[in-house]
Structure 1
Amino acid sequence: MRKRLLLLYLMVLSMVIVSQAQATGVAVSGTVKSADEKPVEGATVTLLKLADSSLVKMTVTAKDGLFVFEQVAAGHYLVAVSAIGHAAYYSAPVTIEAKPVVLGSFSLTQTAAAIGGVTVVSKKPLLEIKPDKMVVNVDASISNVGATALEVLEKSPGVTVDKDGNISLKGKQNVLVMLDGKPAYMSGTDLANLLTNMNANQLDQIEIMTNPSARYDASGNAGVINIKTKKNKTRGFNGSITAGYGQGRYAKSSNSINLNYRSSKLNVFANYSYNSNKDFNNLHLTRTYYEQDGKTIASVFDQPTNIIFKRHSNNLKLGMDYNLSRKTTIGITGTGFIAPRNIYNASTGFWNNAAGHADSVTTTANTDFNRWKNGGINLNLHHQFDSTQDLSADLDYITYQSSTAQQFFNNTTYPTNKPETDETIKGDLPSKIDIFAAKADYTKTFSHGLKLEAGAKSSYVKTDNTAGYYNLVGGNWLPDYGKTNHFIYRENINAAYINLNGQIGKWQLQGGLRYENTQAKGHQLGNAQKADSSFKRSYGSLFPTAYITYNVNTNNQFSLSLGRRIDRPGYQQLNPFIFFINKYTYEQGNPFLNPQYTNNIELSYVYKGMFTATLNYSRTTQFMTEIFNSFDNITILGQGNLGNLQTAGVSFNAQLQVAPWFSTTLHSDINYKTVRGYNNGDDVKTSAFNGQFNANNQFKFKHGWAAELSGYYNSKDVEGQFRIQPQGDVSAGISKQVLHNKGTIKLNARDIFYTRVTNGDIFYQNVHEHFIQKRDSRVINISFTWRFGKVLSDKPAGRHEGAADEQNRVRT
């Protein structure tokens, strides 16, 4: 398969190069007018490739509203128009052939009023379907008010989140999650905590890419999810304040302030949010142990657990961009958060014998006080040599620091005369992650439309994790060397890529190749009972990508994409020591865990830009997944390379304007997965269908009123040893523009019927584990947003200022 991908890549690359010689250039012109037929001067007009919305040319309208693009190669394009005080305009697909083209007049709708100097931006659609990605506009959904970033992801098309916060895309785990175009460098529980501490108020868009180009890191076998935070692009001083309150079983609060000043040379921005959240997690676990025949019950462990979470998070983002000249911009961005979290856990575990009688009862009470903080700084440069080539560079330093104080109290009683036992354990778990990254990207567009992209990246990560556990014996805390450990991990990844994009008639062709080399070292420090241990890893690989798009006509388009990706083990997953969860459940890393590799192929059809159908297939080798094992009635959760995973699926997306006041977005994913592997002496063979269905209905009424009715449903799913039962939810909301369109009030109810319940089974060795998990997901939220500021009337300072949107897409 790898050789076939490389061969296809070389073929596409050759066709792209040939396309340069076959293209010709013509003039494309048109005019821009307002709704009252007056010419609009100073409007920014951009010519975009239909295949990937990449920038081709840009200009500004003259006094009479006229614009002209010179030397445009034959192909299929979109024209985008933006002007202060008007809604953004996107044309229907435009086909350029051998003759000059006059596009006629584009009419802009005035949807922003200069009331008190405030600009109110028109509402974006919930979903934007593009050839290389799906874009979710977070503010377009009323039901996102009061939600966390993780909850917004959970209801996004094709995305699922399991009971532990692990994210899957189209039925496949191991998604590369990026924040403003930069990898989060976190996975599993740590990533879930990070996204839980972010509020929907902070988010602008979520970009979902199932087969990203060579420009992106090769990590993430399921694809890439890029979470873009808000950054105001309006010239002048402006901002917004949002205050929100939610009530489920417990109260929640989300508040934010966004400030921005943008002139012809300088852009300064500051975003701050404070979120307070009290939540619960009720988990009922039943483990049934069987004899060797697999049918006769030996014992049953039944444990209901009630967990209370109290979270407070402070998030801050500060930044500045400065135009040194019309061609060069430098920028600096600082980010950080402080997120204390307290967890209170109470459970009662019943050990029952085969006859159903209690052998023992263990009552557990534990607390977990966590203090998590983060800081990061980014330095960036963008230089435009001329209208055809530019260079961007980024330097990043990010640090995460966490301190956790745990305490467990276990009391075990017996129905016989055997005396009860008590044990008290405390844990001190400091952790630190330091990340250094540097990258540079170069883009060159040739005269006949051939586009070259090339770049390099290097990252260095160091993690330092300590787990100190102590037992209370005779009033003294004594070290538990069996659980205490100190793990240091270092990883250096160096990468380089090249990508070519061109067009031959109705064919849009793109080929890319990325190489990544990984050097890793892990060191487990010893203690009084355990010796030191260490390991080293060194591996490199090529990751080709290829895209072929055929534009039948302006209404019909077919696309084929192929790619190869990698998933590396999480830092903590390689730690060989045991982590204490509770008396009967441990977690253990695996220093022999190997990366997994995935080959993806997708075939898509788009009709009129409003209906999309996609067929996809992927094959993953050295499939990494959670693996459960049982030893002496203790369950140990770890990670392992189970075998091979194959996934085949079909997805449909439709965006329909049912009536002038009613639009709907429908999305469905149907996948068939098979896993073949081997674990602890047992063959693992699973296969199942899984479906995910999303619906979002938007209603727009007079006098600033709007409403939403949305929901999602996930069918039964199988993932390795897991079997997950169906779940979903229904949400509704209303909104009203107030204060002369300077304010918005939103009210919503999420998970109205309380159906977002995780219910599943795990099968391992001679154990069948059943669990039911409920959270504080049924919540009523209300929020108020006030927009303020003054818009500058001066015109953009030329070509570079007009390209700010493209810069932000690359750099932020």
Structure 2
Amino acid sequence: MIRKCFLLAVGILLTGIMVKAQVVRGKIVDASQVPVEAVTVVMQTIDSTFIDAVITDTEGNFTLKQNPDKYRLICQHLLFRTQIRECSGPDAGIITMQEQDYALAEIVIKGERPQVKVENGALVYDMTALAEKSTAGNVYESILHLPGVMEQNENISLAGAGDVTVILNGKPSSMTTEQLSNLLRNIPVSDVEKAEVMYNAPAKYRVRGAVINLVLKNMKSEDPFVRGEVGAGYSQAHYANGNGHANLSFVGKKLSVDILYSAGYNKSILNNDILSHHKIGDKIYDIEQYNKGERCNLTHNMRAAWDYHLSENSNLNVAYTSAITPDKKAVEKSSGNFSESLNSKAGDEQMHNVNMDYKSGFGLNAGLDYTYYAYPTTQDYTSRNESSVQRFLTDASQTINRWNAYVGQTHTLPDDWELNYGINFTFAKDKSLQVYRPQDGSDMSAMDTYTDLKEETYNFYGGVEKSFNEKVSFSLSVAGEYYKLMDYKKWALYPTMQLSYALSGNHIFQLGFSSDKTYPEYWTIQESVSYMNGYALLLGNPALRPSTDYTAELTYILKSKYMFNVYYSYIKDLFTQLAYQSPDKLALIYPAINYDYEENYGATITIPFSVGSFWNSQVTLDGSVFRDVCNSFHDISFDRTKFRGIAMMNNTFKLFTKPDIRLELNGMYMSSFIQGLYDISSVWNVDAGLKWTFADKKAELRLNANDLFDSYDLNSKVNYKGQNLIMNQRRDSRSLSVSFVYKFGGYKTKEHKSVDTSRFGF
């Protein structure tokens, strides 16, 4: 059945390739090769008879739905001189327009760029305009200034949608949180034309749920040149850390090549205190354990990419990416009235990825992606209490080979309908082991695990899009997925819908619905046991199920500036790890479990304002109600509800224009909330930054202070149906950092397709 569906889909795609639409395509740029938006392009016959007319998009591209043998193009724009070109064939090429000279004496025009626009169902933000109002020096920092976007536990999230996926130029970004952060921090804001925020991404993006699509600027040049960037940074938290990077890029008319290398040393602490009132039978044991952990690693990131433009709208990209962390170490010391333990873990982690991607000018996108990941580790564990000593060594490893192949096709139909469809196949093989070597004469062979997992995912999607007029746009797509992991097999459908209505330029409404499935990390679905200290241990769960979530949201945009959003989400089989006091022995276990469901509903308000040109600010308020339900958490069940409020304020002060010096001061407060049995404390933090740009904007010196008052610590309490404990977490979040970046040759970082390792590691 799967084979037949696969062959049928391939046949449909090949047919779509052969039925190439007879249209004329081209692009408008200025003298600096920057795309020009809103140019009127009129097509005439050679004897001046009108045929068709269109307006260029934000990329400067235009498509005329007629293709005569010979024709004349007239390109008009208020700020540029009119260009006339006679052409033949479907490729009109690149048309360069010269700026118009206007002499306006004693006239000053003041205006304000719109904060947000709606294009094809996406909320579109001008990243250059946002950067002008902040000290953001890279894309990652600039993303955090988008309305409703915040950073929680080093993850980028979107109010009302939870975790959000970042993609580049419409291509999925497959990477871990750490790799994503490193990549975005290496891309200057000047490289990004716009950010498209989609609460409900259409299936053609091959990702589901909330998405931020970063559209990068054109990277071609009529005159080939070489450019680059070097930079270094130093930060001081509890320990000193450092990083450096060097990038070199060749950009030509057809070919571009990128070489990147960066290295970063990171050493941090993560302390956790456990105060447990552990009940066994009728007796309660008061246990206190104070855990001090340190982690250190030096990571090397390397990348080489080759991008060849076959024609104006088609290109072939081949890239190799690697992340290598030799001698990765983690040490945790635990002391208290129950046990004294030392837990050391060391390993060599490496990831290698090769990606080939082809995009045609007639709507075809196809690619092949291969990832190799390996992480062998050795653990040295010793624990002592009043009656015994336990010591063992553990050899563990995880080796993953994953292939991903995809092909998709987009057609422009009559009356401006757009049809898209495609297939996406992923095969992964995970070979893992965990072998205990006791040093105290005990027998631990029953805890050894050897796993050979095979995972297959077949995804078929189809969708339509339509802009009925300047006021209404609509998209609907459905993804069908067949998932197989060993003996577990599951068919599922994931519909997505987006409807936008512009009552006027000052009143825009957007209604959306999406569905998605999230899979647990490979290590958590194995029958493994990992000791954290003499009292706490982690348990894997081979029966763990993927979670499915459904989200609906309604957004109102006032004056292209103020945003109001209401939302509802329902997550079936949400998986997580919750602490549980064993009723049989003095052990705090963290099993991987599925809730029955979690639901969340709430509202978000974003209000930007400015005071002259000196002070720019943005206030975001979010309030939501969480409900966590689980009827089979060991011998107890829970059904808990809690309100959570979030308030954020980002401020930028333009201290000087010459020299260009800006001060940023940001604050965040989050009220207490729940997670399963946990009652989690409120947190707040204040960050500050100072940026000096000089040397004709080629050099940048930044000073940052994060979590000034060392207040971002999440503390948890459990007091529910016999479970009674307190967990206080002390993070290494307060830091002072300084960084310097210098660009030569007008360097602009290229788009990098990232690698999905989010389910790797243990």
What TM-score do you get using the length of structure 2 for normalisation?
0.78
Once the two structures are superposed, residues 719-766 of structure 1 have per-residue CA deviations (whole angstroms, 9 ceiling, x without a partner) of 212221111211111111223332111111111111111211235652
Question: Of 642, 655, 659, which residue of structure 1 is paired with 2:595?
Answer: 642
Distance in 2 between the 1:594 and 1:811 partners? 24
Distance in 2 between the 1:58 and 1:780 partners? 51
What is the match of residue 97 of structure 1?
Answer: none
Once the two structures are superposed, residues 276-323 of structure 1 have per-residue CA deviations (whole angstroms, 9 ceiling, x without a partner) of 11211111111112477xxx8711111111112212111112101112
In structure 2, do the counterparts of structure 1 residues 158 and 40 end up closer, same or farther at CA, with 3 Å as the change threshold?
A: closer
Where do residues 680-759 of structure 1 align in structure 2 (5 Å cutoff)? 680-700=634-654, 701-703=656-658, 704-759=660-715
What is the match of residue 430 of structure 2?
Answer: 463
Quick check: 1:337 aligned with 2:305? no
Distance in 1 between the 2:260 and 2:336 partners? 46
Shift of residue 137 of structure 1?
A: 6.1
In structure 2, do the counterparts of structure 1 residues 777 and 627 end up closer, same or farther at CA, with 3 Å as the change threshold?
A: closer
What is the match of residue 346 of structure 1?
Answer: 333
What is the match of residue 549 of structure 1?
Answer: 500
What is the match of residue 531 of structure 1?
Answer: none
Conserved? CA contact 1:142–1:746, under 8 Å: no
Shift of residue 558 of structure 1?
A: 0.5
Distance in 2 between the 1:515 and 1:470 partners? 46
What is the match of residue 278 of structure 1?
Answer: 267
What is the match of residue 358 of structure 1?
Answer: none
Distance in 1 between the 2:329 and 2:676 partners? 32
In structure 2, do the counterparts of structure 1 residues 142 and 253 end up closer, same or farther at CA, with 3 Å as the change threshold?
A: farther
- Single out whichever of 342-351 and 226-235 deviates more from structure 2: 226-235
Conserved? CA contact 1:649–1:672, under 8 Å: yes
Question: Of 365, 386, 393, which residue of structure 1 is paired with 2:342?
Answer: 365
What is the match of residue 473 of structure 2?
Answer: 508
Q: Secondary structure at the match of 2:542?
A: coil
In structure 2, do the counterparts of structure 1 residues 721 and 735 end up closer, same or farther at CA, with 3 Å as the change threshold?
A: same
Distance in 2 between the 1:348 and 1:404 partners? 24
Distance in 2 between the 1:337 and 1:379 partners? 18
Conserved? CA contact 1:145–1:783, under 8 Å: no
What is the match of residue 582 of structure 1?
Answer: 533
Distance in 2 between the 1:217 and 1:650 partners? 28
Conserved? CA contact 1:171–1:690, under 8 Å: no
Q: Secondary structure at the match of 2:709?
A: coil
Conserved? CA contact 1:143–1:749, under 8 Å: no
Conserved? CA contact 1:155–1:712, under 8 Å: no
Conserved? CA contact 1:203–1:228, under 8 Å: no
Q: Secondary structure at the match of 1:45?
A: coil
What is the match of residue 250 of structure 2?
Answer: 261
Shift of residue 555 of structure 1?
A: 1.7
RMSD (Å), alpha carbons: 4.2
Distance in 1 between the 2:369 and 2:354 partners? 6
In structure 2, do the counterparts of structure 1 residues 314 and 695 end up closer, same or farther at CA, with 3 Å as the change threshold?
A: same
Where do residues 366-515 of structure 1 align in structure 2 (5 Å cutoff)? 366-384=343-361, 389-413=362-386, 421-446=388-413, 448-473=415-440, 480-505=444-469, 506-515=471-480
Distance in 2 between the 1:676 and 1:281 partners? 30
* Identity rate, percent: 22
Conserved? CA contact 1:483–1:580, under 8 Å: no
What is the match of residue 482 of structure 2?
Answer: 517
Question: Of 655, 661, 665, which residue of structure 1 is paired with 2:608?
Answer: 655
In structure 2, do the counterparts of structure 1 residues 810 and 635 end up closer, same or farther at CA, with 3 Å as the change threshold?
A: closer
What is the match of residue 573 of structure 2?
Answer: 622
In structure 2, do the counterparts of structure 1 residues 185 and 681 end up closer, same or farther at CA, with 3 Å as the change threshold?
A: farther
Distance in 1 between the 2:216 and 2:473 partners? 31
Q: Secondary structure at the match of 1:448?
A: helix
Gaps of 5+ in 1: 1-24, 33-38, 48-56, 61-67, 83-99, 111-124, 352-361, 414-419, 522-535, 793-803
In structure 2, do the counterparts of structure 1 residues 272 and 181 end up closer, same or farther at CA, with 3 Å as the change threshold?
A: farther
Q: Secondary structure at the match of 2:524?
A: helix
Conserved? CA contact 2:158–2:164, under 8 Å: yes
Quick check: 1:782 aligned with 2:747? no
Shift of residue 621 of structure 1?
A: 2.4
Conserved? CA contact 1:46–1:59, under 8 Å: no
What is the match of residue 201 of structure 1?
Answer: 186
Gaps of 5+ in 2: 1-22, 43-49, 62-73, 82-97, 99-112, 757-762
Q: Secondary structure at the match of 2:285?
A: strand
Q: Which letter does structure 2 place at the counterpart of 1:367? A: S
Conserved? CA contact 2:643–2:673, under 8 Å: yes
What is the match of residue 795 of structure 1?
Answer: none
Where do residues 16-55 of structure 1 align in structure 2 (5 Å cutoff)? 44-46=35-37
Shift of residue 257 of structure 1?
A: 1.5
Distance in 2 between the 1:790 and 1:738 partners? 14
Number of aligned positions between the proteins: 667
Conserved? CA contact 1:144–1:152, under 8 Å: no
Question: Of 594, 613, 623, which residue of structure 2 is paired with 1:670?
Answer: 623
Distance in 2 between the 1:673 and 1:232 partners? 45
Q: Which letter does structure 1 place at the counterpart of 2:707? A: D
Distance in 2 between the 1:201 and 1:500 partners? 35
Once the two structures are superposed, residues 507-557 of structure 1 have per-residue CA deviations (whole angstroms, 9 ceiling, x without a partner) of 111111111111111xxxxxxxxxxxxxx1111111111111111111211
- Single out whichever of 269-278 and 318-327 deviates more from structure 2: 318-327
Q: Which letter does structure 1 place at the counterpart of 2:122? A: D
Once the two structures are superposed, residues 409-460 of structure 1 have per-residue CA deviations (whole angstroms, 9 ceiling, x without a partner) of 22223xxxxxx53222111111112111011122222353222222211111
Q: Secondary structure at the match of 1:746?
A: strand
Q: Which letter does structure 1 place at the counterpart of 2:539? A: Q
Q: Secondary structure at the match of 1:215?
A: helix
Where do residues 583-598 of structure 1 align in structure 2 (5 Å cutoff)? 583-598=534-549
Shift of residue 473 of structure 1?
A: 3.0
Q: Which letter does structure 2 place at the counterpart of 1:508? A: S
In structure 2, do the counterparts of structure 1 residues 202 and 550 end up closer, same or farther at CA, with 3 Å as the change threshold?
A: closer
Where do residues 2-151 of structure 1 align in structure 2 (5 Å cutoff)? 44-46=35-37, 70-72=52-54, 104-105=78-79, 131-132=121-122, 140=131
Once the two structures are superposed, residues 458-491 of structure 1 have per-residue CA deviations (whole angstroms, 9 ceiling, x without a partner) of 11111111111111136xxx76213221122111
In structure 2, do the counterparts of structure 1 residues 134 and 726 end up closer, same or farther at CA, with 3 Å as the change threshold?
A: farther
Conserved? CA contact 1:322–1:331, under 8 Å: yes
Shift of residue 579 of structure 1?
A: 2.6
Q: Secondary structure at the match of 1:552?
A: strand
In structure 2, do the counterparts of structure 1 residues 728 and 785 end up closer, same or farther at CA, with 3 Å as the change threshold?
A: same
Q: Which letter does structure 1 place at the counterpart of 2:304? A: L
Shift of residue 630 of structure 1?
A: 2.9
Q: Secondary structure at the match of 1:316?
A: strand
Conserved? CA contact 1:146–1:246, under 8 Å: no
Conserved? CA contact 1:334–1:377, under 8 Å: yes
Distance in 2 between the 1:791 and 1:620 partners? 44
In structure 2, do the counterparts of structure 1 residues 407 and 764 end up closer, same or farther at CA, with 3 Å as the change threshold?
A: farther
Shift of residue 167 of structure 1?
A: 7.2
What TM-score do you get using the length of structure 1 for normalisation?
0.73
Distance in 2 between the 1:660 and 1:727 partners? 32
Distance in 2 between the 1:784 and 1:127 partners? 30
Shift of residue 195 of structure 1?
A: 5.7
Conserved? CA contact 1:152–1:200, under 8 Å: no
